Homo-oligomer: A and B are copies of this chain.
Amino acid sequence: MKGKFYGIGVGPGDPELLTLKAVRVLSNIDVLAVPESKREAGSVAHDIARPYLKAGVEVLTLTFPMIRDAEAKAKIRRDNALRIIEKIDAGQNVAFLTLGDPMLYSTYIYLLDNMKDRGIDIVSIPGIYSFSAISNLLNEPLVKGDESMAIISEFNPETWEKLQSVHTIVCMKVSAYGKQLFDALQTRSDRKMVMVTNAGKETQTVSYNAEDLKGDIPYFTTVIVSKTE
């Protein structure tokens, strides 16, 4: 009998923010597929999951190098999917970990594309997003009533202008566009921001000073921009 494939969201960093379902599945899988890249998101996810894994679980390290060539990238994703499928065909249950949630800006999404339509039982388990953890940590609501919000992962000036109609803009992967975001905020007196790095971990930092957007921003940073009331 074939094994199952699980995509597990482990949340933003605090091991207590895993769901009961994630913990149950982690304790039952045979193979843990850990993505490895320059950003080390995979090893951070592995560290969060570690306390819940059964002893002797096999670790399958998958490398996702940061390259620009689309064809080479697609090949790497396909090869990684094939390595997982081999285990599943051999009857093993395999889990792939995602920081945050599997369905929002994750490497898992590209694996999925290569695993669908192959008769594999795929179970994705949601995780807490960084911005959800941050808003709760700070007791600062994201949206209420008829307000709307947006989530971006890059800075596009045209999109940014259009999004000014929403109350809250969550800026993910902001380390790549801090300076652009700073400049954009300078032109708007009706917006305030909070920047949080390593949310919920001992190394957490919180800044309400937009100037900090101009400095070196660590990778695990999220900025929440909202309207001043």
Contact = CB atoms under 8 A, between A and B. Distances in A.
A191 B131 CA distance: 26
Contacts of A149: 150-151
Q: Chain copies in the assembly?
A: 2
A116 interface: yes
Interface residues of A, number: 58
A105 interface: yes
A146 B15 CA distance: 28
Given A17-B19, A20-B18, A101 B153 contact: no
Interface stretch (A33-41, A159-167, A209-217): A159-167
A104 interface: yes
Contacts of A125: 136
A24 interface: yes
Main secondary structure of the interface of A (DSSP, over half): mixed
Contacts of A133: 126
A179 B21 CA distance: 36
Contacts of A165: 158-159, 162-163
Given A148-B159, A165-B159, A105 B143 contact: yes
B24 A110 contact: no
Nearest to A14: B21
A219 B166 CA distance: 23
A49 to B, nearest CB: 12
Interface string A8-28: 010100111111110110000
A98 B122 CA distance: 29
A99 B126 CA distance: 15
9 contacts: A16-B20, A16-B24, A17-B20, A18-B20, A112-B141, A122-B139, A126-B133, A143-B151, A150-B163
Given A101-B136, A124-B136, A162-B165, 19 more contacts: A7-B136, A9-B136, A17-B20, A17-B126, A19-B19, A19-B128, A20-B20, A104-B141, A104-B143, A110-B144, A116-B139, A126-B128, A127-B132, A128-B128, A143-B153, A148-B152, A148-B156, A162-B162, A163-B165
